[in-house]
Amino acid sequence: MGDLARFGVSIPDDLLEKFDGLIKEKGYNNRSEAIRDLIRDRLVEDQWTKYENDVVGTVTVVYNHEQSDLAQKLTEIQHKKHDLIISSIHVHLDFHNCLEVLIMRGSSDEVKKAGEQLISTRGVKHGKITMTTTGQEID
């Protein structure tokens, strides 16, 4: 991290009150750390909007492995995207349901596309793409 800078912020009372309530709920000890995290989150989001960037993301899917050829379809997609997927975890949640978390690295466009393809596969009960960062361009 670089040197710390201090700055003043003007903000309506009621907005600050809500913010303080939220950060207390989230377990922050002070406003500074909460504001730093908000800024980092926004910067990561911005990084993701730039097509050529090297980004990392996770894709989570929940599905029933007994449903026709769904498990096979998902595996096929993953093999086609093997250059993007750097790791994966499979958890058998119960007799029927599976959770898969894939960690991907590539351009934001490719990662998003692959994630959306998996999530939109018919029979997937729930899916989520989490955008995060390689950490290199953020303090």
Q: Which residues of 12-46 are buried (b: 16+ CB within 10 A; e: fewer)?
A: eeeeeeeeeeebeeeebeeeeebeeeeeeeeebee
Q: Should residue 125 be labelled a site residue for Ni ion when binding is judged by CB under 5 A?
A: no
Q: Should residue 34 be labelled a site residue for Ni ion when binding is judged by CB under 5 A?
A: no
Q: Which residues of 96-114 are buried (b: 16+ CB within 10 A; e: fewer)?
A: eebebebbbbbbbebbbeb
Q: Should residue 98 be labelled a site residue for Ni ion when binding is judged by CB under 5 A?
A: yes
Distance linking the first and last C-alpha atoms of the chain: 5
Least distance (Å) between residue 108 CB and Ni ion: 29
Least distance (Å) between residue 91 CB and Ni ion: 7
β-strands 97-107, 85-92 pairing: antiparallel
Give the residue with the Cβ less far from Ni ion, 39 or 91. Answer: 91
Q: Should residue 92 be labelled a site residue for Ni ion when binding is judged by CB under 5 A?
A: yes
Task: Print the binding letters for residues 41-80 with Ni ion: x by CB under 5 A, - otherwise.
Answer: ------------------------x---------------
Give the footprint of Ni ion on this chain (CB under 5 A).
Answer: 65, 92, 98
